[in-house]
Amino acid sequence: MNILLAEDDLQLGELIGYMLKKKGGYNVEWVTEGEDAYYYAGSSHYDVLILDWMMPGRDGVEVCRQLRKEGYQGAILMLTAKDAVQDRIEGLDSGADDYLVKPFEIDELLARIRALSRRNYAPIVEEEVQLFDMVLNRSSQTVQSGEKTVQLSPREFQLLDLLLQNKGQVLPRDVIMDRIWGYDTDVSMKTIDATVKLLRKKLGVIEKQEMLHSIRGVGYKIDS
């Protein structure tokens, strides 16, 4: 089972991620900002999203509400220190399937995850994308060609997945920045170029021809 955990408390996030892996045997991606949670959820398939209510930038409720507005059908569990009835109502009305108040026992969190996973949720994207002799796997965030497989970092995966979803089209660098990092990020456009460079290096291990092209002064594209 693949879980996305969004928790800005570093100590708590590390503990939850460790226990979910150790006691639940789950694959866990951990982010500390709501903006990252939103983009990760939209670019890969997770069985359960665990969103902390209070996060910098977009909070968990805002992320949940936006994902549901866009048709996201996966399971969402909200974590929060807010325990008033009205707060619970707001969390559930935003689209969350369940609500867990801090502090909590890890066994209760595991039980709620098991309950959510028993429901049938359809992924919003296909598990695998085929391009020529390459296969992008969204669960493992890997690219495979024949017997060769390369592991991508989260940002490399998001960039490649975004380009594949728009293959044949030139994506301007500012659009890439907005979709992956967000306009309000502190990173520069050079970060996109550096990520492309690293992605090209990894794809070069398995691809027979270069598919990721730079369009001078505009952005990037992948051949259709």
Q: At 122, is the pLDDT very low, low, confident or very high (cuts 50, 70, 90)?
A: very low
CA distance 54 to 81: 9
Residue pLDDT, tens place only, 3-59: 999 998 899 999 999 999 988 888 899 999 988 888 888 777 788 999 998 888 888
**pLDDT of 124 above 80:** no
Closest among 220, 206, 208, 37 to 136, alpha carbons compared: 206
Sequence-ordered alpha helix ranges (H) in the chain = 10-24, 34-43, 60-69, 85-93, 106-117, 154-165, 173-176, 189-203
Query: What are the domain boundaries of the chain?
Result: 2-117, 128-222
User: With contact defined as beta carbons under 8 Å apart, do 9 and 52 qualify?
Assistant: yes
The domain made up of 128-222 has a fold known as Arc Repressor Mutant, subunit A (1.10.10)
**pLDDT of 121 above 60:** no
Average the pLDDT over 75-91 and give the result.
Answer: 77
Q: In 3-state terms, what secondary structure has residue 190?
A: helix
Task: Place domain 2-117 in its CATH homologous superfamily.
Answer: Response regulator (3.40.50.2300)
**pLDDT of 82 above 80:** no
